[in-house]
Amino acid sequence: MDDPRAIKEQKHFDQLARETGEVWWGSTTPAGQWRKRRRAELICAALATFPDPLVIELGCGTGALTRYLLEIRPSLRLVGLDVSPICVRQAIERFPYPNAVFQVGNAYELPLRDGIADAVAGASVLHHLDVRRALRECGRVLKPGGLLWFSEPNMMNPQVALEKNIRAIGAWLQNSEDETAFFRWSLAKQLREAGFTDVRVRPYDFMHPLIPSSLIPWAGRLGRWLEAVPLLREISGSLQVQARKPS
């Protein structure tokens, strides 16, 4: 791997995994785990039409999302890829499922043959990458009609905008040096330019990772309501990204 940005990302996540056992503080709180489970539920719902899908989880980290994917659909055939060897080692230790494989992989040169996967999915991955290069590789490994699904930070959200544009705040919140966030219309354009069809990029998720456990049910209901309100939903925390490789 000789890409400078990828090397810096690897070092960043190696260090976090070594020191904390996780790659982002927001995955460790009760509300953060609620968010991960919801992402897994959305992915599994999108996979409902695939009887026995092979899913590539890009940027699997130590398995914060993997955990829920395999709880919801234990028979899921999953290949978890991450640039961090330490993260991959921890994921292997946490998930000794016979149908789940984890290995080190660069998003720009996936260690997979052409057209092998029914889906490529991930949470908070693309914003660490050169999106055009990553989408090109995702398209290469997907079967015709294959699903692309990601959840990414929304640049229209005030906190996200602050931490992605003011480096000191981002560093305090465990952001890596080169990560960013997306405006949904420009990300949708990049997906179409990469050749994907049925492109949908929608704002969602008002659940902040610091919301106390006792307030999660209330916050979840309020968040679902806000997601349906025009204009207000534009400042949600995340973008749900879904598209397909042409058949």
Q: Residue 1: pLDDT above 80?
A: no
The pairing of strands 117-123 and 142-153 is parallel
Residue-wise pLDDT tens digits, 144-181:
999 999 999 999 999 999 999 998 998 898 899 889 99
Residue-wise pLDDT tens digits, 59-101:
999 999 999 999 999 999 999 999 999 999 999 999 988 999 9
Q: Residue 117: pLDDT above 70?
A: yes
Residue-averaged pLDDT of the chain: 95
The pairing of strands 197-204 and 238-244 is antiparallel
Is residue 144 within 8 Å of 237, Cβ to Cβ?
no
Domain containing residue 193: 4-244
pLDDT the model gives residue 173: 87
Domain count, the chain: 1
Residue-wise pLDDT tens digits, 10-23:
888 888 888 888 88
Q: How confident is the model at residue 205 (pLDDT cuts 50, 70, 90)?
A: very high
SS (H, E, C) the chain: CCCHHHHHHHHHHHHHHHHHCCCCHHHCCHHHHHHHHHHHHHHHHHCCCCCCCEEEEECCCCCCCHHHHHHHCCCCEEEEEECCHHHHHHHHHHCCCCCEEEEECECCECCCCCCCEEEEEEECCHHHCCHHHHHHHHHHHEEEEEEEEEEEEECCCHHHHHHHHCHHHHHHCCCCCCCCCECHHHHHHHHHHCCCEEEEEEEECCCCCCCCHHHHHHHHHHHHHHHCCCCHHHHCCEEEEEEECCC
Angle, vertex CA 40, rays to CA 35 and CA 41, nearest 5: 95
The CA distance from 10 to 90, in Å, is 15
Q: How confident is the model at residue 25 (pLDDT cuts 50, 70, 90)?
A: confident
Instruction: State the CATH number of the domain containing residue 182.
Output: 3.40.50.150
Residue 242 structure tokens? 């879904």
pLDDT the model gives residue 20: 86
